[in-house]
Amino acid sequence: MTADKYVLVTGGAGYIGSHTVLELINAGYKVVVVDNLCNSSEEAIRRVGELTNSTIPFFPIDLRDQAGLEKVFSAYPIESVIHFAGLKAVGESTKIPLEYYDSNVSGTIVLLKTMAKHKTPIFVFSSSATVYGDATRFENMIPIPEECPTGPTSPYGHTKMIIEEILTDAAAADANLKVGILRYFNPIGAHPSGRIGEDPRGIPNNLLPFVAQVAVGRREKLQVFGNDYKDSPDGTPIRDYIHVVDLAKGHLAALAKLDSVQGENGEGFVRPWNLGTGNGSTVFEVVHAFEKATGKTIPLEVVGRRKGDVVNLTAKPNRANTELQWKAELTVEDSCRDLWKWTTNNPWGYGQPEK
């Protein structure tokens, strides 16, 4: 990374984005953030600035606003982009699929065109394990390697898959473009300071934020979507839960890798990496870990399966371990402890002053 160059972080006010911005600044990177704030808060950026003793350039624009994005690229010498911005709920995507395709796919195309115009060579994409779909349909594909055939089961997953294909085509046509595709499994937890964390608008779509809201009295009980999955020890879905700080550090590892590689045969470079722990936990196991970390009992009820859900999404992270020199270090218990600190300090998220 050249000393006077910047990393543009799209969606940098969001959950994973804000934690990554913090890690980037702590590692000496210069950062500029764009975020349309549709599911995030500018307060997250303000707090990251306090934690890092820095002023972070921030632009509240939508990636589909080509003129607005052009101004950012014209004002800052951007050498790399980490692209988080997008809609991200599996269940919601089945209800408003066109919004997902417009926001996620159209926004990425505008971003890539702007990068090409300004000759920005490095792109790290926030993809998802949902691109694999139900990997249990294959033999010997759990834990899931990058070679697993893709087959998303929701519009959200389809948008991520389409963007991966767009990036592959773009790199094939541009010898200078270097792309890292990071397929996340299930990010959880919060920064250990308790000052930044996940603050979803409305009803949380992810397990642990909902559990935390139940624990502080914002929700009555947890709904568990199905306990009749045959290939699960307790019938509930299995996921690979990764601490958000470990995940954020994975982006820095990807940047460093992309900075050191070159494309071949007149084409750019593109490579997918799974970011996960390699260990799966059921919904009930995570709830019990949260109860142990907090001393709280979480009331719950089991309801029907959620459309688009699959039984097991556990990563095989060996490629990232080897090629990126990155490994998840923190546990589900660490995540529950840090989430509880964030939640008790900020029971209403960024919407009210910290305790």
Q: Looking at the annotation, which residues are catalytic?
A: 156
Torsion, Cα of 325, 330, 335, 338 (10° steps):
-100
CA atoms within 13 A on the CB side of 113: 13
On whether the CB atoms of residues 11 and 83 are closer than 8 A, the answer is: yes
Which H, E and C letters describe the chain, residue by residue?
CCCCCEEEEECCCCHHHHHHHHHHHHCCCEEEEECCCCCCCHHHHHHHHHHHCCCCCEECCCCCCHHHHHHHHHHCCEEEEEECCCCCCHHHHHHCHHHHHHHHHHHHHHHHHHHHHCCCCEEEEEEEHHHHCCHHHCCCCCCECCCCCCCCCCHHHHHHHHHHHHHHHHHHHCCCCEEEEEEECEEECCCCCCCCCCCCCCCCCCHHHHHHHHHCCCCCCEEEECCCCCCCCCCCCEECEEEHHHHHHHHHHHHHHHHHCCCCCCCCEEEEEEECCCCCEEHHHHHHHHHHHHCCCCCEEEECCCCCCCCEECECCHHHHHHCCCCCCCCHHHHHHHHHHHHHHCCCHHHCCCC
